[in-house]
Structure 1
Amino acid sequence: MRAAVLRQGRLVIDEVAEPTPGEGEVLVAVKACGICGSDLHFVDHGADFLRLTSEANGGAPPAVDLSRDVRMGHEFSAEVIGSGPNTNGPAAGTIVTSMPILMRGGNRVSMSFSNTEAGAYGERMVLTNDVLVRAPAGCDVDSIALTEPLAVGLHAVNKSGITQGTTALIAGCGPVGLTLIACLKARGIGPVIASDFSAARRATAVAMGADLVVDPSTDDLFAAWRREGSRQPVMMFEAVGVPGLINQAMREMPRDGKIVVVGLCMQTDRFEPTYGVMKELTLQFVVTYSPQEFRDAMHLIADGTVDVAPMITGRVGLDSIAGAFADLAKPDVHTKILVKP
């Protein structure tokens, strides 16, 4: 079958072995796969990504060898086409999604970046039956593919502990920032004030439910909060991942404020601890989601509570995936591109 492969730092399309489901697994045909910001980071800075991940995990050896082909793709919807031996999988034709893991021998095997497992940047792949989340009949397969990024936003909102009566500030209206907006509004939080340099992404933020958007080249999130929402406590979600933003937020944040860091910064950063100490700020970092949050995210899409369609700005076939990666560097044009194998 055909699949996109990261080979020596370049995305190429190649013929790869057909995946075969084992016991407890199902074979699926990929319907759509979103290109994630972490995929962009990995292609451009794979060695740094693996080094930092290894250090964060206590020095565990990297799970991926960049000298070998790497398979990717973890935001997906798929159609069941078969089951492995002794597996009571969903009927053929069922639309599913899944956390990007396989359960093998009681261990979780990542499918996000792998030398051995087929990700969703290919025509077919194997999934663990017990991890599948089935989409209700009639759901849009492109929207279901965004379950995974929505789960990231949902987890961040859950971990933050934000409650109604709090103003939420969102720095960055890329996919993560947009899912934060959607999940905050679904919880009745407001006002939600978001900022991004891209006019197109600010417009998408409004479509996703933001009450106010600002252009940081001419305005400031905290100035907007002081104008619009300063009668309430404030919480900021950092969804950009660039050096200096945490320090700026700590400087501007009022006493007892909270900053939730969702954006992945691949560079060394610095901040002034005095800001945090003198104002008793809370700085929280979050990542990924739980199995329950993943299921909840899919149901938010399926029941219409969250409409992720405004996030989707392009669709390409496998042959155009390298160009799509390059296009995502243009925030005024694209937010989320789906690969349709």
Structure 2
Amino acid sequence: MRAVVMQDRKVRLAELPEPVPCEGEVLVEVLACGICGSDLHCAQHGAEFNASLRTAFGVDVLDLDRPIVFGHEFVGRVLEHGPGTSGRVPLGARVVSVPSLTRPGQPFLGFAGPETPGGFAERMVLAESLLLQVPEHVPTEHAALTEPLAVAEHAVNRAGLRPGDVPLVVGCGPIGLAIIAVLRMRCDGPIVAADFSPERRLLARSLGADVVVDPARDSPYEAWSKALGVSGSGVEGQAQVPAAVAFECVGVPGMIQELVLGCPPGGRIVVAGLCMRPDTFEPAQALVKEIDLRFAYLYTAEEFAQALAYLTDGAGMVAPLVTRTIGLADVPEAFDTLSDSPQDAKVLIVPGLPGDTAK
């Protein structure tokens, strides 16, 4: 089968052996798979990503000595029931899944080798016990957004969202936009969003942001303070503002400190942007403001199921997130351009796209 592999920081189209389902697994045809910012980061900073996880958990996620088949935001069609499966999901059904297998070692799909490829391939194997069937009325390109919506749902849950909260989303890339979509479903207060890209600001508005700011012209923190009904972000003479909740979705050094400075006392900051370089901030400033600083990574199985439920209940709500579809052959070029693309949000790979050309 055809697949896109990454090795030595290079992404290329390759021919791989067909994956074989083990006990309790099914073979699926990949219908669509999103390119995630973490795919781009790991292609360029795989060693640093491994070093971070090794320090935190004592393991390397990426085997950088072998080809890696990215793709953890997928939707597929069941082709074959493997040994020891019940057949509870019929052949031909569309499915999504938490990107993990239950076999020994529990490979994390999208970060493993050719034997357990991710969704940047024509076919892949999935654990039957983790499959969620996609309802017929949910378009395939929307079902492929289940995983990034689960990331957003987890970030919003990490914020401990309460009635009356006024969120600020800094950075309107795919995760920031997904967070805006989830906030619109769960938040009754105004949503403030900020991004330098005019295209992404339009996407933020279309997904539910009430106030959209160009940081090159105006301060997102002043707009946030106005929405909160407070006079600024200083400490002196200002009461706590527990309704202030910010989401950092940029992932570059300096953003945490900027948010600490801009956040009103008593607010919460959730860091969802993946920064692969060392960073610093001034704890004393967060301390005197009594700011809660939280970090969000991945999601639970329940949050993944909730993301599919959002799509089931309102299948068209996230349509603006998908800005482009490409074929497998177009992926290497996309990796070269996406990091600097101000107009793209979620780019979907469709392995069966005729001619493997972008549309």
Give the 5 Å matches for 1:166-185: 166-185=165-184
The match for 1:191 is 190
**1:79 counterpart = 2:77:** yes
Please report how far the alpha carbon of residue 41 of structure 1 lies from its aligned counterpart in structure 2 after TM superposition. Answer: 0.1
Please report how far the alpha carbon of residue 227 of structure 1 lies from its aligned counterpart in structure 2 after TM superposition. Answer: 2.4
**Per-residue displacement from partner, 1:108-148 (whole Å, max 9, x unpaired)?**
32112112411110000000000011111132011100100
CA distance, structure 1, for counterparts of residue 106 and residue 203 of structure 2: 35
Q: Secondary structure at the match of 1:202?
A: helix
Please report how far the alpha carbon of residue 326 of structure 1 lies from its aligned counterpart in structure 2 after TM superposition. Answer: 2.2
Larger strand fraction of residues: 1
The match for 1:39 is 39
Q: Secondary structure at the match of 2:53?
A: helix
Q: For the aligned residues, what is the CA RMSD?
A: 1.4
CA distance, structure 2, for counterparts of residue 244 and residue 296 of structure 1: 33
Structure 1 spans left out of the alignment, 5+ residues: none
Q: Secondary structure at the match of 1:270?
A: coil
> Do 1:101 and 1:109's aligned partners in 2 also have CA atoms closer than 8 Å?
yes
- Whichever residue aligns with residue 283 of structure 1, its letter is L
CA distance, structure 2, for counterparts of residue 305 and residue 338 of structure 1: 17
> Do 1:166 and 1:190's aligned partners in 2 also have CA atoms closer than 8 Å?
yes
CA distance, structure 2, for counterparts of residue 55 and residue 112 of structure 1: 21
**Per-residue displacement from partner, 1:24-43 (whole Å, max 9, x unpaired)?**
11110000000000000011
CA distance, structure 2, for counterparts of residue 10 and residue 240 of structure 1: 24
- Whichever residue aligns with residue 34 of structure 1, its letter is G
Tell me: CA distance 1:252–1:138, structure 2 relative to 1, closer, same or farther (3 Å).
closer
Please report how far the alpha carbon of residue 332 of structure 1 lies from its aligned counterpart in structure 2 after TM superposition. Answer: 2.6
Identity %: 43
Please report how far the alpha carbon of residue 301 of structure 1 lies from its aligned counterpart in structure 2 after TM superposition. Answer: 0.9
CA distance, structure 2, for counterparts of residue 211 and residue 118 of structure 1: 40
Q: Secondary structure at the match of 2:121?
A: coil
Q: How many residues align?
A: 338
- Whichever residue aligns with residue 80 of structure 1, its letter is V
Please report how far the alpha carbon of residue 85 of structure 1 lies from its aligned counterpart in structure 2 after TM superposition. Answer: 1.9
> Do 1:200 and 1:331's aligned partners in 2 also have CA atoms closer than 8 Å?
no
Q: Structure 1 length normalisation: TM-score?
A: 0.96
**Per-residue displacement from partner, 1:199-237 (whole Å, max 9, x unpaired)?**
000000011100110001111111002223325721111
CA distance, structure 1, for counterparts of residue 249 and residue 139 of structure 2: 27
**1:154 counterpart = 2:164:** no
CA distance, structure 1, for counterparts of residue 309 and residue 120 of structure 2: 24
The match for 1:139 is 138
Which of 317, 330, 350 matches 1:340?
Answer: 350
Structure 2 spans left out of the alignment, 5+ residues: 231-240, 352-359
CA distance, structure 1, for counterparts of residue 25 and residue 214 of structure 2: 47
CA distance, structure 2, for counterparts of residue 182 and residue 37 of structure 1: 18
Q: Structure 2 length normalisation: TM-score?
A: 0.91
The ranges of structure 1 where at least 4 consecutive aligned residues each deviate by more than 6 angstroms after the TM superposition are none
